[in-house]
Copies of this chain bind each other. A is one copy, B any other.
């Protein structure tokens, strides 16, 4: 067993403060307010269009707030399902996202400097929030097995690599990915899985006592699920072209998610003992429709097309949780705590494929479409490949850095347990319970 130095007293404060101070210096050099006088500041980061400047600087603000809720409440509470890891889930989620949005604003902005400056506006902070989503997805794969310092390192690495791939996909390949199925969801998932593979822990092969939920922790997780589910139409449409294109993105996502719920519930019941529903599926697979419809959310796929995508995503995701996750862990050494492969990985690829099909279909002369279909199937395919490639290579490199022995990762027996990095209140009840339990054993022995 390697040595574990989990005392964070010096290393965490130093890393966190150093990163923040460096970031502030970079902001002092590069970042100014948008004054509306620039050119092209309406250009969004991960879509190949320059959309007209919004009439009002605050026009997208309600959309931003929806995305903000998804990042901080949605992802944060979704991961509180673990019985003894809720503080880390929602707390470290806040830490990573708060740092990530600053770093993301810099990394994304560097590709679009105006007079040497990054001009912050609502679109830019939406994209900054988006960039953190990649990290939060990867966080799900390694949840419970990493220290806050390791995760801060992952945040810098992943957002930097994400920004390169995003630039490539949106500006070089000019592919469409309005809801970011490829560049956020698939990217974040495979990045996280690669990290998890590098950090493989043989000691957890047979599971861990704390790697499970209790009744109330599952309810906390549903807060995350439902907020993600409700605001996903904003995620997929926030950077779409204003007007009817944005409306299309909203409607496609709304319907895809609704159809996805039905198939996730149906398959969960089908594969479980006595047809019972499994909370893991409900918390996660119901969201796969939002991921899978992302790339083509703003295309004219028809409302029923969106629903079909959602239906398939719910099926694929639920089956993944039931059958694929255990195989990944046992055969490939990929211990995916939250099953991000099923919620973000496969549905993200499905989304990328749907985007390719939608582009192919738009070439047919018979297809009538209200909305112009941009992009080219080959470019879409290249964008998917690029996203997967950057994710896997970036994840392996990042994992190797995270594996260095001085970042305070927890020993196996302290995984999935807040008390290694948090002051956890003494639970009077629990204490008594364990006394009672000990007591019981004693009595049992007497009998």
Contact = CB atoms under 8 A, between A and B. Distances in A.
A8 B213 contact: no
Contact of A102 (B11, B80, B258, B443): B258
A377 B11 CA distance: 41
A244 B57 contact: yes
Interface string A3-17: 000111111110011
Interface residues of A: mostly helix, strand, loop or mixed? helix
Contacts of A203: none
Contact of A125 (B125, B254, B279): B254
Interface stretch (A24-32, A137-145, A162-170, A381-389): A24-32
A6 B267 CA distance: 17
Nearest to A73: B226
A12 B234 contact: no
A319 interface: no
A262 B16 contact: yes
B250 A27 contact: no
Interface residues of A, number: 130
Interface stretch (A174-182, A300-308, A347-355): A300-308
Contact of A86 (B24, B32, B215): B215
Contacts of A242: 56, 58
Nearest to A55: B56
Interface in A370-423: 370, 421-423
A276 B269 CA distance: 41
A277 B147 CA distance: 12
A323 interface: no
Interface in A257-298: 257-259, 261-263, 265-267, 269-270, 272-279, 282, 286
B33 A87 contact: no
A110 interface: no
Contact of A258 (B57, B101, B255): B101
A429 interface: yes
Interface string A67-87: 011001100110010011011
A7 B274 contact: yes
Contacts of A443: 439, 442-443
Contacts of A423: 272-273, 276-279
B273 A24 contact: no
Contacts of A222: 76, 90-91
Nearest to A262: B20
22 contacts: A16-B266, A25-B304, A32-B302, A32-B303, A33-B244, A62-B65, A72-B226, A76-B222, A84-B215, A86-B216, A91-B282, A94-B261, A98-B258, A98-B286, A102-B259, A121-B247, A121-B251, A272-B423, A279-B422, A429-B433, A433-B433, A443-B443
Top 10 A-B residue pairs of the complex, sorted by shortest distance between their CB atoms = A8-B275, A9-B275, A98-B261, A436-B436, A28-B304, A20-B262, A16-B266, A13-B266, A13-B270, A27-B304
